[in-house]
Chains A and B, each alone.
Chain A
Amino acid sequence: MYERRLSRLVLLFGVMLLALFARAFHLQVVRSGELLRRSPATGTAVLPRRGAILWADGTPMVVNTARWRALASPRTLRAARGACAGCGRVAAVTEPPRPCPECGSAAPPSPLPPADRGELAAILGVSPDDLTGFDADPKSKSVPAQVPLLREDVRLPAEAAMRLAARAAEFPGIDVRPEPARVADPIVANLVGLARLPYAEEIDAARRGEGLADPRRADADLFVYRAEQLSRLLVGGSRLERQFDERLRGVPGRIVRLPPARGSVSSPDPVVLEPVTDGEDVRTTLVRSVQQACAEVVARPAGSGAAAVAIDLADGAILGIAARSDDAYFHGVSALQPGSVYKFAAALAALESGIADDVATSCERRGTLPGGQRYVCHARHDVQRLDGAFAHSCNAWFHAASLRMGSRALADAARRLGLDDEFALGLGPSARNVVGDWSATEAYLASIGQGPALASPLQIATACARIATGGRKIAPFLDRDAGPPRGSRDVDPVVARHARRVAELAAGVVDHGTASSVEALRALRAAGKSGTAEIRSRGESRNNNNAWFVAWAPREAPRVVVCVVHEQVELHGGADVGPDAAHVLEAALRAR
């Protein structure tokens, strides 16, 4: 029995030692990489350079910079100060008292009053009222430990920040530090969006092992940013910065700083645990000259907003897209009342239904159709068929056509032209699912771009792009490296069947229709359509309009398409917005 028990004892130890070896294997072979990456305590993070967003020609439209911030601790901002009895150096009074770091004097310092608002303002070169950090109540529990020293809209120049940093010891509770920031070309600031430091919730999520992953790794959930990396890493907050964030962000590295060797004062090179991978530069399809033209057009001080889009018909690349609005949305992709530019869909539907040549109306500006439905037009057009109705934007004809073709045909045509597609450009909430199962009454209004009809400038431009290219399913895109979406070279048979006829209709608009007064469009050999959607705002007795113009050029071999809209203005699409479209068209044609 003794021998048996002894051998069992040895076996027990053998099993334990084997288990230890297995665990060591697991740590050192199986989980080695993961542990080194996941550990919160290994090494110092080396932050990557955030990638730049580039114009189509490769020049940057966004660059990295640093921004100085001054923070104040309300509770210590008002702490007592003292001047050293030996050298007069001003410093915060500590308890217990410490010798002066300058001269070593241990004598009690001469008391000084707490930090003066005016004195700080003089150092920073700002008004004392800008130092809102002094206004925070130190006794309030809702006030955080650190608050901005300056008002948010007051910029802290580097020289002022460094002046304050040099005297930081005299002002307890003041912290001056550089923070990473981004600066964008002013003509795309609205489009590029915001890159910011992460919120506390995102950092907490990273601590729990959730949150951002490096998408370039096949097992993307293996890498998770740690909290101390995220706290200083810029992440995309909105628009293009957010859309391309995974590529722009980069992957932090990790190093271990080694102490100096014995007898040496210089530290050896740090050991690199993980190399840093800088963020990738993202090249867009935007051309600066075209974007400039779009920005100039939308900057016209009229209305609540404006948008301009220019698309390259070769592949659907967006050459320029700009917008201005009173709200937080990017109106280049927002759903707006389109007005008569929606008649492309109605014309296509009428042609496909086979009723286009059968419909003839006599437009008296206001009246009743033979079926009893009322109509209102912007002018008296007399007897019209499709060609004239399109050129002169006669509502009566399109109302009558909608009654003949039905709501389903109109909706189908709208969808084929991309008027219901959301092109995921990351520019914010986009118009989508706006083409529904309309009733006859709804289709009646939608046929002229009123009522339930909604579309964004990007969708209108895309619809015309599909017509101008003979039915190709053009889908606009911004990422040059990714290229056009799959399927954009396919041809829609219905659109292809009628594209030539619709293009001729569009040419008529410029030649003798609502845009005939715009010489610039004729000079460019453009074809297009005007639109004036009536928008009645609350409290307004007068109608405001969404004034549109969409055009492509040259009509014989189209290369670019442009769409411009001014929201809630007293303008009309053809005469007033046509020149804007021509301006952008000209820039786009030069770029192409």
Chain B
Amino acid sequence: MRAESASTRAEIPLGDFVRRIDLRILVPAVLLTCAGLLALASTRPSLVAQQAGAAAAGLCIALALALVPFRAVQAAAWPAWLLSTALLVVVLFFGHGAKGAHRWLKFGDVQFQPSEIAKVAHVLLLARWIRTDRRQKTLKGLFIPFALTAVPAGLVLVEPDLGSALLFVPALFAMLWAAGSRSSHLAGVVVLAMLSVPLCYPYLNEYQKKRVRTFVPAVETLEARFGSAPQQPESPAERSRRLNDQRYHVENSKVAIAGGGLTGAGWGEGPMNLSDRVPEDWTDFIFVVHAEEWGLLGVGVLLLLEAALVAGFAVAAHESKDPATRLLCVGSLAMLGVQAVVNIAMTMDMAPVVGVPLPFLSYGRSAMLSSWLLVGLALHARAREPHVFTTGDFDR
């Protein structure tokens, strides 16, 4: 049963809106964006203007979202999801990218990645669906959320973009779990997924398999034993050389991070950055630039900002009274938090290199916009949530 008061149906005055912008989310996001621009200025100065423009646009859109009425945003969930899914289909046929991948759509001078929009639409729709469906505590009730995740994730996987596809899953699990799904149900799904990994592995692209082999060398042994392709005999020296080549990216990344020491080499002074030794150091490996230039102290500050952002989302979710707004905050938390953790972990050889950008720091206008959109959803949730008291939605 939902009770609505007349006062909640009325629009919140604009003056109050400013006071209701949640600075606990906004400030860490802004500071992370500034850190990203600083690192980008060190490694690729020519891209700073574009990235700053995207950040400014993202900030404006995020603040503007806070002006949009709550119901309007909720009503846009399905259209957004359908549109993003359609774009994911279009990009498979008309998209372009490097090395045979289809990830970007171009309209005139504007180029964007539909998978980034799909992430935001995914969180928005799941929040609405779980809020209205309310069957998440049953096993049957999980099918639709999983299906709503599998469709866009599968289309992203086919691009191929394994890293982005996998990001849909933590957001789904976090939102379902926060909404009250049984832990045993979710654990069972996880176990099933892990058991199916060997079945799915042969269908990965070769470059994706290479990344898995680089991170888990034992996979190579298993492939040699159970794989169908005959293995060429290799001397220990040749094998050693091949492994060194495969690990070139990660090894250089570790060396660059290690080179930062306690206080870093200084802005623009990192030797590995200056000599372009770390590939993709303006996109997926931008953390390496930051770590090399600011050292452990800089890494600590960055991780504190990430923690502050996560905490901001969590506090916002905690203070939210409407389940949908809570789920928006939880979904945004999970999407951005997992992305940050995976990205930083892969630069330090704690996870396979899966090509996931670092939110607010990695160069990429689409990624920057989607990160700010997720922030915008949480700001919107806090600024515009209706004062609704509901019973029986979530157990307290």
Contact = CB atoms under 8 A, between A and B. Distances in A.
Nearest to B350: A23
Nearest to A21: B303
A3 B394 CA distance: 9
B299 A21 contact: yes
B317 A6 contact: yes
Residue of B257, B262, B334 with most chain A CB atoms under a 10 A cut-off = B257
B394 A1 contact: yes
Contacts of B337: 13
A17 B341 contact: yes
A41 B252 contact: yes
Interface stretch (B22-30, B70-78, B115-123, B269-277): B269-277
Contacts of B180: 1-2, 5
A28 B350 CA distance: 15
A523 interface: no
A27 B254 CA distance: 7
Contacts of B271: 43, 256, 258, 271, 273
A164 B153 CA distance: 62
Contact of A204 (B240, B303, B314): B240
B interface majority secondary structure: helix
A186 interface: no
Interface in A196-212: 200, 204, 207-208
A97 interface: no
A367 interface: no
B240 A25 contact: no
Contacts of B341: 13, 16-17, 20
B282 to A, nearest CB: 16
B137 to A, nearest CB: 10
Nearest to A33: B258
B300 interface: yes
B155 interface: no
Contacts of B261: 28-29, 32
Interface stretch (B157-165, B222-230, B304-312, B381-389): B304-312
A65 to B, nearest CB: 31
Contacts of A17: 303, 306-307, 310, 341
B295 interface: yes
Of the four ranges (under 10, 10 to 19, 20 to 34, 35 or more), the interface on chain B belongs to: 35 or more
B275 A28 contact: no
Contacts of A7: 314
B330 interface: yes
B373 interface: no
B318 interface: yes
Contact of B255 (A6, A25, A41, A258): A41
Contacts of B262: 28-29
Given A6-B318, A28-B296, A271 B350 contact: no
Contacts of A271: 271, 274
B14 interface: no
B178 interface: yes
Contacts of A380: none
A259 B275 contact: yes
Given A14-B307, A28-B260, A31-B258, A256 B296 contact: no
Interface string A245-263: 0000000000011110000
B251 interface: yes
A10 B314 contact: yes
Contact of A207 (B237, B344, B396): B237
B259 interface: yes
B257 A207 contact: no
A67 to B, nearest CB: 27
A379 interface: no
Contacts of B277: 41-42, 256
A20 to B, nearest CB: 5
Nearest to B340: A17
A54 B373 CA distance: 74
A13 B311 CA distance: 9
Contact of A42 (B237, B272, B394, B395): B272
Nearest to B179: A2
A40 interface: yes
A227 B256 CA distance: 20
A24 B255 contact: no
B310 A13 contact: yes
Given A24-B291, A36-B259, A3 B318 contact: yes
A39 interface: yes
A10 to B, nearest CB: 4
A210 to B, nearest CB: 11
A9 B237 contact: no
A20 B344 contact: yes
B275 A24 contact: no
A36 B178 contact: no
A210 B338 CA distance: 39
B333 interface: yes
B314 A9 contact: yes
Interface string A226-267: 000000000000000000000000000000111100000000
B236 interface: yes
A2 B392 CA distance: 12
A139 to B, nearest CB: 22
A118 to B, nearest CB: 39
A173 to B, nearest CB: 24
Nearest to A24: B299
Q: Which of A35, A41, A204, A273 is packed against the most chain B CB atoms within 10 Å?
A: A41
B250 to A, nearest CB: 10
B20 interface: no
A208 B311 CA distance: 45
Closest 3 CB pairs of A and B: A35-B258, A204-B237, A2-B394
Interface of B: 174, 177-178, 180, 236-237, 240-241, 244, 248, 251-252, 254-255, 257-262, 271-272, 274-277, 291, 295-296, 299-300, 303, 306-307, 310-311, 314, 317-318, 326, 330, 333-334, 337, 341, 344-345, 348, 350, 394-396
Given A6-B318, A9-B178, 15 more contacts: A1-B394, A9-B330, A9-B333, A17-B306, A20-B341, A20-B350, A21-B303, A24-B299, A25-B296, A32-B261, A41-B255, A204-B237, A207-B237, A208-B240, A258-B271
24 contacts: A2-B180, A2-B326, A3-B396, A6-B178, A7-B314, A13-B337, A13-B341, A17-B303, A17-B306, A20-B348, A21-B299, A21-B300, A23-B350, A28-B257, A28-B295, A32-B261, A35-B258, A35-B259, A39-B254, A42-B255, A43-B275, A208-B236, A256-B274, A273-B259
